[in-house]
Amino acid sequence: MEVIIDAGEVILTIGLFGNKDTLDYVGGKKWALGNSFISFVEEEGNVSELHYDAGAGYYILKKQED
């Protein structure tokens, strides 16, 4: 999973095929992708985790350092 912010849009790439989806901001530091919701956790001004609520599961993904 890769998250890119481009010109104010949050773009999410998931899976082997690299499909890119633009997330819709729904408020409260939360974005939507269909029926799924994504939020970010910040530590000292930097994003450290992505929380992915897929309805059937809740995933906490930690940021990988380059």
pLDDT in tens, 20-43: 788 888 998 898 988 999 998 888
Query: Is 11 buried (19+), middle (13-18) or exposed (0-12) by CB count in 10 A?
Result: middle
pLDDT at 2 over 80: no
How much of the chain, in percent, has pLDDT values that exceed 90?
20
Give the burial string for 29-46 (b: 16+ CB within 10 Å, else e): eebebeebbbebeeeeee
Instruction: List the domain range (segments joined by +) for residue 23.
Output: 2-62
Tally of domains within the chain = 1
Specify the pLDDT at position 37.
93
Which residue did the predictor score with more confidence, 15 or 25?
25
